[in-house]
Protein backbone atom coordinates (compact mmCIF):
# COMPACT_ATOMS: atom_id res chain seq x y z
CA UNK A 1 0.00 0.00 0.00
CA UNK A 2 2.86 2.29 0.84
CA UNK A 3 4.39 1.77 -2.52
CA UNK A 4 1.24 2.41 -4.45
CA UNK A 5 0.64 5.54 -2.44
CA UNK A 6 3.96 6.97 -3.40
CA UNK A 7 4.04 5.93 -7.03
CA UNK A 8 2.02 8.89 -8.04
CA UNK A 9 4.14 11.33 -6.07
CA UNK A 10 6.44 12.37 -8.81
CA UNK A 11 8.79 15.14 -7.76
CA UNK A 12 11.30 14.70 -5.04
CA UNK A 13 10.66 17.00 -2.16
CA UNK A 14 13.39 19.11 -0.68
CA UNK A 15 13.09 19.51 3.06
CA UNK A 16 14.40 22.40 5.09
CA UNK A 17 17.71 20.68 5.76
CA UNK A 18 18.20 20.52 2.00
CA UNK A 19 18.39 16.74 1.86
CA UNK A 20 16.29 15.23 -0.84
CA UNK A 21 13.46 12.92 0.21
CA UNK A 22 11.83 10.52 -2.17
CA UNK A 23 8.01 10.54 -2.18
CA UNK A 24 7.97 7.14 -0.48
CA UNK A 25 10.19 8.45 2.31
CA UNK A 26 8.03 11.53 2.65
CA UNK A 27 4.84 9.49 3.09
CA UNK A 28 6.45 7.17 5.60
CA UNK A 29 7.70 10.21 7.53
CA UNK A 30 4.14 11.52 7.61
CA UNK A 31 2.83 8.16 8.82
CA UNK A 32 5.45 7.99 11.58
CA UNK A 33 4.62 11.49 12.76
CA UNK A 34 0.90 10.72 12.57
CA UNK A 35 1.05 7.54 14.67
CA UNK A 36 3.41 9.06 17.23
CA UNK A 37 1.17 12.08 17.62
CA UNK A 38 -1.98 9.97 17.80
CA UNK A 39 -0.68 7.77 20.60
CA UNK A 40 1.51 10.04 22.69
CA UNK A 41 -0.26 11.74 25.60
CA UNK A 42 1.64 15.00 25.11
CA UNK A 43 2.12 17.27 22.13
CA UNK A 44 5.24 16.36 20.14
CA UNK A 45 7.56 18.63 18.19
CA UNK A 46 5.95 20.05 15.08
CA UNK A 47 6.88 18.59 11.70
CA UNK A 48 5.92 21.54 9.51
CA UNK A 49 8.47 20.63 6.87
CA UNK A 50 6.75 17.26 6.32
CA UNK A 51 3.29 18.88 6.33
CA UNK A 52 4.35 21.45 3.76
CA UNK A 53 5.95 18.89 1.47
CA UNK A 54 2.93 16.60 1.62
CA UNK A 55 0.60 19.47 0.84
CA UNK A 56 2.74 20.43 -2.12
CA UNK A 57 2.57 16.84 -3.35
CA UNK A 58 -1.20 16.76 -2.95
CA UNK A 59 -1.63 19.92 -5.01
CA UNK A 60 0.68 18.49 -7.61
CA UNK A 61 -1.23 15.20 -7.75
CA UNK A 62 -4.57 17.03 -7.96
CA UNK A 63 -3.42 19.04 -10.95
CA UNK A 64 -2.08 15.89 -12.63
CA UNK A 65 -5.46 14.31 -12.10
CA UNK A 66 -7.23 17.19 -13.84
CA UNK A 67 -5.42 16.26 -17.02
CA UNK A 68 -6.51 12.62 -16.97
CA UNK A 69 -9.54 11.79 -19.09
CA UNK A 70 -12.87 11.30 -17.32
CA UNK A 71 -13.74 7.68 -16.66
CA UNK A 72 -10.14 6.51 -16.88
CA UNK A 73 -9.61 3.63 -14.45
CA UNK A 74 -6.24 5.01 -13.46
CA UNK A 75 -7.87 8.25 -12.39
CA UNK A 76 -9.93 6.63 -9.65
CA UNK A 77 -6.91 4.81 -8.26
CA UNK A 78 -5.05 8.09 -8.07
CA UNK A 79 -8.07 9.82 -6.56
CA UNK A 80 -8.16 7.14 -3.85
CA UNK A 81 -4.50 7.70 -3.09
CA UNK A 82 -4.99 11.42 -2.80
CA UNK A 83 -7.92 10.84 -0.45
CA UNK A 84 -5.88 8.53 1.73
CA UNK A 85 -2.93 10.83 2.04
CA UNK A 86 -5.21 13.77 2.75
CA UNK A 87 -6.94 11.77 5.48
CA UNK A 88 -3.64 10.95 7.20
CA UNK A 89 -2.50 14.56 6.95
CA UNK A 90 -5.79 15.97 8.28
CA UNK A 91 -5.95 13.41 11.05
CA UNK A 92 -2.37 14.29 12.07
CA UNK A 93 -3.10 18.02 12.20
CA UNK A 94 -6.38 17.36 14.03
CA UNK A 95 -4.78 15.35 16.81
CA UNK A 96 -2.22 18.11 17.30
CA UNK A 97 -4.88 20.79 17.42
CA UNK A 98 -6.93 18.75 19.89
CA UNK A 99 -3.95 18.52 22.24
CA UNK A 100 -3.21 22.22 21.85
CA UNK A 101 -6.78 23.01 22.87
CA UNK A 102 -6.82 20.49 25.70
CA UNK A 103 -3.53 21.61 27.24
CA UNK A 104 -3.32 25.19 25.96
CA UNK A 105 -1.81 26.87 29.07
CA UNK A 106 0.88 24.18 29.37
CA UNK A 107 1.67 24.17 25.67
CA UNK A 108 2.17 27.95 25.67
CA UNK A 109 4.20 27.80 28.87
CA UNK A 110 6.50 25.19 27.36
CA UNK A 111 6.91 27.30 24.26
CA UNK A 112 7.74 30.35 26.36
CA UNK A 113 10.36 28.59 28.47
CA UNK A 114 12.02 26.99 25.44
CA UNK A 115 15.73 27.68 25.26
CA UNK A 116 17.03 29.45 22.19
CA UNK A 117 18.06 27.06 19.46
CA UNK A 118 15.80 24.32 20.81
CA UNK A 119 13.28 23.29 18.15
CA UNK A 120 9.83 24.77 18.57
CA UNK A 121 6.95 22.62 19.77
CA UNK A 122 4.40 24.55 17.73
CA UNK A 123 4.38 25.52 14.09
CA UNK A 124 3.88 29.27 13.50
CA UNK A 125 0.21 28.77 12.64
CA UNK A 126 -0.33 26.52 15.68
CA UNK A 127 1.35 29.10 17.89
CA UNK A 128 -0.96 31.82 16.57
CA UNK A 129 -3.95 29.57 17.16
CA UNK A 130 -2.90 28.67 20.72
CA UNK A 131 -2.39 32.33 21.65
CA UNK A 132 -5.80 33.28 20.27
CA UNK A 133 -7.46 30.35 22.01
CA UNK A 134 -5.89 31.37 25.32
CA UNK A 135 -6.87 35.03 24.99
CA UNK A 136 -10.39 34.16 23.84
CA UNK A 137 -11.03 31.76 26.70
CA UNK A 138 -9.50 34.03 29.33
CA UNK A 139 -11.52 37.02 28.12
CA UNK A 140 -14.67 34.94 28.21
CA UNK A 141 -14.15 33.65 31.76
CA UNK A 142 -13.35 37.13 32.98
CA UNK A 143 -16.35 38.76 31.37
CA UNK A 144 -18.91 36.16 32.43
CA UNK A 145 -17.80 35.32 35.95
CA UNK A 146 -14.44 36.42 37.31
CA UNK A 147 -15.01 40.15 37.19
CA UNK A 148 -18.31 39.64 39.05
CA UNK A 149 -16.54 37.82 41.91
CA UNK A 150 -15.08 39.30 45.13
CA UNK A 151 -11.85 41.26 44.52
CA UNK A 152 -9.52 38.55 45.84
CA UNK A 153 -11.02 35.91 43.54
CA UNK A 154 -10.96 37.69 40.20
CA UNK A 155 -7.99 35.83 38.80
CA UNK A 156 -7.58 32.16 37.96
CA UNK A 157 -4.26 30.54 37.18
CA UNK A 158 -5.09 28.60 34.04
CA UNK A 159 -1.85 26.62 34.37
CA UNK A 160 -3.25 25.14 37.58
CA UNK A 161 -6.87 24.97 36.47
CA UNK A 162 -6.35 23.09 33.20
CA UNK A 163 -5.10 19.48 33.58
CA UNK A 164 -1.64 18.56 32.34
CA UNK A 165 -1.03 15.66 29.94
CA UNK A 166 -0.62 12.39 31.82
CA UNK A 167 2.91 11.24 31.01
CA UNK A 168 2.49 8.11 33.10
CA UNK A 169 -0.01 6.57 30.72
CA UNK A 170 1.04 3.41 28.94
CA UNK A 171 1.79 3.25 25.23
CA UNK A 172 2.52 0.48 22.74
CA UNK A 173 5.75 0.88 20.86
CA UNK A 174 7.95 -0.79 18.32
CA UNK A 175 11.73 -0.48 18.49
CA UNK A 176 13.47 0.84 15.40
CA UNK A 177 17.00 1.09 16.78
CA UNK A 178 18.31 -1.25 19.46
CA UNK A 179 18.57 0.38 22.89
CA UNK A 180 20.57 -0.73 25.89
CA UNK A 181 20.04 -0.07 29.58
CA UNK A 182 16.73 1.71 29.54
CA UNK A 183 15.96 2.64 33.12
CA UNK A 184 12.43 1.64 34.16
CA UNK A 185 11.05 3.22 37.31
CA UNK A 186 8.97 1.09 39.71
CA UNK A 187 5.20 1.26 39.26
CA UNK A 188 4.31 0.34 42.82
CA UNK A 189 6.05 0.65 46.18
CA UNK A 190 6.96 -3.01 46.43
CA UNK A 191 8.68 -3.03 43.05
CA UNK A 192 12.25 -2.04 42.34
CA UNK A 193 13.58 -0.11 39.40
CA UNK A 194 15.32 -2.13 36.71
CA UNK A 195 16.97 -1.72 33.34
CA UNK A 196 15.92 -3.34 30.06
CA UNK A 197 17.43 -3.70 26.61
CA UNK A 198 15.08 -3.06 23.73
CA UNK A 199 15.80 -5.26 20.71
CA UNK A 200 15.27 -3.90 17.25
CA UNK A 201 11.84 -4.83 15.88
CA UNK A 202 10.46 -5.90 19.27
CA UNK A 203 7.20 -4.49 20.62
CA UNK A 204 6.52 -3.30 24.16
CA UNK A 205 3.88 -1.77 26.38
CA UNK A 206 5.58 0.83 28.58
CA UNK A 207 5.00 4.01 30.44
CA UNK A 208 5.26 6.98 28.08
CA UNK A 209 7.54 8.92 30.45
CA UNK A 210 10.17 6.16 30.28
CA UNK A 211 10.54 6.19 26.52
CA UNK A 212 9.60 9.79 25.64
CA UNK A 213 13.23 10.68 24.72
CA UNK A 214 13.31 7.70 22.35
CA UNK A 215 10.16 8.95 20.62
CA UNK A 216 11.82 12.34 20.12
CA UNK A 217 14.97 10.78 18.70
CA UNK A 218 12.99 8.43 16.44
CA UNK A 219 14.49 5.27 17.99
CA UNK A 220 11.03 3.91 18.75
CA UNK A 221 7.69 4.21 16.99
CA UNK A 222 4.40 4.38 18.88
CA UNK A 223 1.84 1.91 17.52
Partner 1 sequence: MFCEKAIELIRELQRNSEGQLPAFNEDGLRQILQEMEALYEQNQADVNKAKSAARSDLIPSIKLRHCCLLRNQRCIMAYLYDRLLRIRALRWEYGSVLPANVRFHMSAEEVQWFSQYKKSLASFMRSLGGGAGLDITQDMKPPKSLYIQVRCLKDHGEFEIDDGTVILLKKNSQHFLPRWKCEQLIRQGVLEHVVS
Residues that bind partner 1 (CB under 8 A): 51-52, 54-56, 59, 70, 76, 79-80, 83-84, 86-87, 89-91, 93-94, 97, 101, 124-126, 128-129, 132-133, 136-137, 140-141, 143-145, 148-150, 152-153, 156, 161
Contact 43, 121 (CB under 8 A): yes
CB of 73 to partner 1, least distance (A): 12
Which of 150/201 has CB closer to partner 1? 150
Contact call for residues 85 and 24 (beta carbons, < 8 A): no
What whole-number distance in Å separates Cα of residue 10 and Cα of residue 24?
Answer: 10
Report which secondary-structure segment, H or E, holds 91: helix 73-102
DSSP of 21-39: E-HHHHHHHHHHHHHHHHH
The least distance separating partner 1 from the CB of residue 15, rounded to whole angstroms, comes to: 13
Strand partners, 174: 203, 221
Reduced to 3 states (helix: H, G, I; strand: E, B; else coil), residue 76 is helix
Nearer to partner 1, 91 or 169 (CB): 91
Provide the minimum distance between the beta carbon of 59 and partner 1 in the complex, in angstroms, as a whole number. Answer: 6
Shortest reach from residue 57's CB to partner 1, in Å: 10
Identify which of residues 10 and 59 has a Cβ nearer to partner 1 in the complex.
59
Amino acid sequence: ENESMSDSLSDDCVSQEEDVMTPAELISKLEEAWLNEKFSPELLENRSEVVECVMEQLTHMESNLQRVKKGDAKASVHRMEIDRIRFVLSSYLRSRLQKIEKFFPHVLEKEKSRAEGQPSLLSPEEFAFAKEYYANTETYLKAVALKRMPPNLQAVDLLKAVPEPCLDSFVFLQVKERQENIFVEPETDDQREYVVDLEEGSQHLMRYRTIAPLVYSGAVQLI
